[in-house]
Amino acid sequence: MLQLTLPAFEIALIVMIVETVIVSVLFVGWYFGSRQMKYRIHHGAVYSIILAHVLTVSLWMIPQGLLLVSMGLLNDPIGNLYQILHDIIGLLAVSLGAVLALVFLIKRGMPLKLLKKARPFMILTLIVWALAFLLGLTSFIITRLL
């Protein structure tokens, strides 16, 4: 298992807190916005979390992942399975979320036909994002707290 220095731990802790808030806002936006058909709340939550998440991914997670790879993350894929799965599934979640957000930014007015087609992808994105978060939390606990 790869250990990081204390400043990296402090940054990782801040990012973990931010990601916890992001996932919480995601589920609040889903529940109160989408399920209760308050789309303004839903869109506000989704657009803000995608922006915040893209920032945390690009400013911390990708550079950290590249550092871990250079330190030998792939030398022990079984020992680092949580991290590797988190990275792959997380990139999928961010990609799905960004594509969905772009589609609804381009197609204003939320046509019913588009909503029906996009709904399964929205649910998939929510599930994949939650899975990536849980894997990231597990990886955080294993690599930084144990």
Distance of CA 68 to the CA centre of its chain: 19
The whole domain housing 136 covers 6-145
Residue 1 lies in a domain: no
Distance of CA 75 to the CA centre of its chain: 25
Residue 66 lies in a domain: yes
Report how far residue 101's alpha carbon sits from residue 119's, in angstroms, rounded to the nearest whole number. 12
Rounded average pLDDT over 119-140: 90
pTM: 0.80
Sign, CA dihedral 33-34-40-44, equals positive
Rounded average pLDDT over 5-27: 84
Residue 17 lies in a domain: yes
Nearest to 135, CA basis, from 101, 88, 98: 88
Report how far residue 51's alpha carbon sits from residue 60's, in angstroms, rounded to the nearest whole number. 14
pLDDT, averaged across the chain = 83
Residue 78 lies in a domain: yes
Does residue 32 contact residue 111 with C-beta atoms inside 8 Å?
no
